[in-house]
Structure 1
Amino acid sequence: MTSGPELPHPARDEIALTQVLFALSDPDRLAIVRQLAGGPLEMKACTPGETARAKSTRSHLFKVLREAGVLRSVPQGRGRLLTLRRADLEARFPGLLQAVLDGAD
């Protein structure tokens, strides 16, 4: 099986509050984060908001979250495994992620 390329992720100390808040401000991106709060998911199984999204739109949503340091996307076979960077976010901004997730209910 082939794997996709490694994508850049910010180091823990490079995660910026403004980028995290921007990434979490979109309802579709927040829906993705809420799904990932339950554990890792294959990218194809992760459905932002409405399921009828173009592949390019979905990819962009994941890219914004990855570049902000909210999630990690690693190659897995022909797909990607998405995980929430909970430990990194908690170390940088204690309580923020949980507050956002609790407030999204």
Structure 2
Amino acid sequence: MDAGQLAHPGVEELEVGPILLALADENRRRVVAELAARPDDERLCASFDLPLSKSSRTRHWRVLREAGLVYQRSAGNGLYMRLRKEDLDARFPGLIQAVVAAD
């Protein structure tokens, strides 16, 4: 793993429990909804307008990554993320669409 790589669960390791726990938080659901609106795009983590401190944001990004909802990569001074839409749809068809539609 190079310096820009962070640990992510494999597709076969994705579990609905951790995903639903991650999505229980409204700020994380908001991030997932924004990413789902443009699933092929990668966004700078700092670009999300959330009413949270930097340390809280960092914790939220980690929860999303460890649950398997997003891929993150570090590049220079920035941290980027994108939704793992294909992986999530393969493992849990319709889950992300249902969560986004419910909010």
Normalising by structure 2, report the TM-score: 0.88
Q: How does 1:1-105 map to 2 (within 5 A)?
A: 5-37=4-36, 38=38, 39-48=41-50, 50=51, 53-104=52-103
Check 1:78–1:4 CA distance in 2 against 1; reply closer, same or farther (3 A cut): farther
Deviation at 1:5, TM superposition (A): 4.4
Length, aligned pairs only: 99
Structure 2 runs not aligned, ≥5 long: none
Counterpart of 1:40, as a letter, is E
TM-score calculated relative to the size of structure 1 = 0.87
RMSD of Structure 2 on Structure 1 (CA): 1.5
Q: Hey, which bits of structure 1, 4+ residues long, moved more than 6 A? A: none
**Structure 1 stretches of 5 or more lacking a match?**
none
Preserved CA contact (<8 Å) 2:4 2:75: no
